[in-house]
Amino acid sequence: MLEQLLTIVNTVRENKSLPPVAEIKPEFDLRTDLGFDSLDLAELTVRIEKEFGVDIFADSFVLTIAEVMAKLNK
């Protein structure tokens, strides 16, 4: 799952001309560590929902990779 999430994160980063990250850690903040803005978070949500069938923002806002993973593990 982490490898799939890394691929999705890097796709979103690539779409905004940011270099890929080699790894993602649970403590990474989506905005400050990965450079995502609200449009990037929307794209991330759509891509995660397509890949995993889970809307990570359905019942609350997520700020970190750990929170994304927690939603995917439910």
Read off the pLDDT of residues 29-65 as tens digits, 9 standing for 90 and up.
999 999 999 999 999 999 999 999 999 988 888 999 9
Residue at token pair 């794209």: 43
The answer, as to whether pTM is greater than 0.75, is yes
The percentage of residues in the chain with a pLDDT greater than 90, rounded to a whole number, is 88
pLDDT score for 74: 83
Least Cα distance to 25 among 69, 71, 61 occurs for 69
Give residue for tokens 């929307």: 42
Mean residue pLDDT of the chain comes to 94
Domains in the chain (CATH in brackets) are 2-14+26-72 (1.10.1200)
